[in-house]
Every structure is written in structure tokens, then in C-alpha cells.
Amino acid sequence: MTISSRSLLIAAAAAIGIAGSLASATPAAAQTKLKVVLNWKYQGPQGMFFLADDRGYFKAEGIEVQLDQGNGSGGVPALVGNGTYDVGFGDMNALIEMAAKKPEDAPIAVYVMYNQPPFTIAVKADSPIKTAKDLEGKSIGGPANDGALKLFPAFCKIAKIDCTTVKLSNMQPNLRENMLMQGQVDGVFGYVNTIRFSAKLAKIDEDKIRYIKYGDYGMDLYSNAIIVPKKMAKEKPELVKGFLRALNKGMQDSIKDPEASVAAVAKREPLINGKLERERFDATFADEMNHPEIKKIGLGSIDEVRLKKSIDIMVDALSLPRSPAISEVWDGSFLPPATELPHKLF
């Protein structure tokens, strides 16, 4: 072989090597990073996000996710609307309020997970507070971004409570149940299963707490949903669809294997109580995600008639300046096909 021939072969091999390197680098370069804020601290019911990540479903869609803990679902729409996060898992009702007041800033919901109202005020079991009316003149506390706290003015109007007589206060989430049991407040805001299992972690017997549930007073509202900026929905529809396809696969896997789902959370937060978080997972799926409507429309979708009623409740109860159209708060066009959505959770 001549020197020139050898040189040509070396050059060709080098070119192939470079091309191979570029080809192998392409998938990584194509990954779109999305910052996602969850509704709360890492807990068992969030397992579908982490399972989808661990099993490569997001990566297969060209997405790299950063899954951050949240401080309350009520604050999520603002975090997505102001660009702090690309995707959020937050309260639909806070989104409705934002759409009514600041339509130009409001994001949009694209996949509803919590289709039953989890909002509650917890009181001690031996408390004289038996009904919503008994809250008048009492003190109630909760984390600043708690969904139930943000909805309290609406609850007052629907339950015919004089809100002006109720003393409201904010507290750190980890202090909520102990402050209630120590009598520092008469009641606390929260989601039923958040309070129930946080109390268990604090060694508080379940029969020591009772719940004044918003849903029992006619507030049949949707709750937590996947929320994205309208700009992303308009300019990058395939990115939104890809995110939901991946998450929906994680949801399907979580339904089939709850233990694996909770284990995916524990991988990020080793200090969680695995047994208790599995119980929280089961309770959340049963109480907050299992509305009868999913048998017909699937988990992730919504009943537009029901959502319109929810909007009307919020507008009336909070005296909002305008009634946003369904299309301002919800867009189901990014969902996977109805046949791929979960229609049964157990």
C-alpha cells in the first residue's frame, strides 16, 4: 500500500469516527430540558413523574426533566405563568382565578389528575366545630400557597359562613398538624390525604382528627392538573404532547405497580416512610383521582359541563371580574388518544 493510499484510509477512518461521534451526540443535543414544579414535597402519589423519568419515557420524547418539590398547588399557576417553571402540577381553581384576573399571564391546564375535590379544614375530633358554620369566630391556619386556604373565600360564600369573623394565619407545612393538636389554632387548611398522612408521621392517631370537606358543601371542583404556559402550547405543541405521552405511560405503570412507583420517589428522597407513602398513594388514587367520570372519558381528561360549573362557582364565590371561557383554562388537544388514558385505577 502506498503512503498516499494509507493516508487516504486514515483520513476516511477519521471522518467516519467523527461522523459516528456526531451521530451518537445528536440525541443528547436534541433533548429539551423542562423545569417541572410539583404540588408538594416528594410523596408517594407523585411516583408517576419519577417512574416515567426512570424508565426513559421522557428521554424517548426528547425531553430532560428537572422535577422540583413544590410548596403548595395553589401557587403553581403563578410560577408557570411568570416563567419560573416550564410545567407545573397545580390547582385548576387557582388557575381559573388567575385567568379571570390576568388572562394575558395565565397558563393553561392540559391533563387533569385530581378530579375530585380534596380541599378540607381539619379540626380535632373532640372540637365543638361540627359544621362549616361553626368555624365562625375560630382561628384557622395553613401554608400560604395551600389550595384549601386560597379557596376559603369561595367556601365561605357557598357554606354561608361570615369570613370576617374567622382569624386566618400562615404556618410552615411541617408544623400544621402539631399546631392543631396543641390547640394553637382551631382548624387547619389542607388536602385530606396530606393532613391524614402527615398526622400519621407525627404519631397522631387518625381518630383524633375530623374533616370539614369542601366537596360536602357543593364545591364539586377539579383540583390538580398539569399546567403549561400558553406560549409553549401554541409554539411547541409537539413538546407538550410528548411530555403528556411520557407522563401518561408513567401513570399506567404506577397503576400496574404501585410499589415501583413509590420506590421511584424514595430514590429521590430516601428519608420518606415507604409503607406510609404507599398508603398515601392508595388513598390519593381512591379519593382524589377516581371520579366515576374516568370510566367514560379517562384519567387526564375533563367533563366540560362540570368544568363550566366549576368556573361559575369560582367566579360567583370570589366575585371575579370576568368569567373565563373553558378554552382559557383547559386545552385537551395535547392528550394521548382516549384509548391510551387510564379508565380504571384498581
Residues β-bridged to residue 35: 66
Strand 63-68, strand 32-37: pairing: parallel
Judge whether 31-116+222-340 and 119-217 match in fold: yes
CATH architecture group of domain 119-217: 3-Layer(aba) Sandwich (3.40)
In angstroms, the CA 335 to CA 50 distance is 19
List the 63-68 sheet strands across, edge first. 63-68, 32-37, 87-91, 224-228, 108-112
In angstroms, the CA 322 to CA 99 distance is 9
In angstroms, the CA 125 to CA 98 distance is 35
Which long-range CB contacts under 8 A does 5-11 form with residues at least 24 apart?
none
In angstroms, the CA 346 to CA 342 distance is 10
Strand 139-142, strand 167-170: pairing: parallel
Residues 6 or more apart from 321 whose CB is under 8 A from it?
100, 101
Predicted confidence pLDDT, tens digits, the chain (346 residues): 444 444 444 444 444 444 444 443 334 457 999 999 999 999 999 999 999 999 999 999 999 999 999 999 999 999 999 999 999 999 999 999 999 999 999 999 999 999 999 999 999 999 999 999 999 999 999 999 899 999 999 999 999 999 999 999 999 999 999 999 999 999 999 999 999 999 999 999 999 999 999 999 999 999 999 999 999 999 999 999 999 999 999 999 999 999 999 999 999 999 999 999 999 999 999 999 999 999 999 999 999 999 999 999 999 989 999 999 999 999 999 999 999 999 999 9
For residue 90, report the phi and psi dihedrals to the nearest 5 degrees. -140, -175
CATH architecture group of domain 31-116+222-340: 3-Layer(aba) Sandwich (3.40)
pLDDT, residue 10, reads: 43
In the chain, the N- to C-terminal Cα span, in Å, equals 71
pTM of the predicted structure, to 2 decimals: 0.88
Query: How many Cα atoms within 13 Å fall on the side-chain side of residue 160?
Result: 1
Q: Where are the domains of the chain?
A: 31-116+222-340, 119-217
pLDDT, residue 8, reads: 43
Distances (CA, A) of 268 to 51, 83, 235, 284, 285: 11, 25, 32, 20, 21
Residues 6 or more apart from 15 whose CB is under 8 A from it?
none
Q: What is the chain's Cα-based Rg?
A: 23
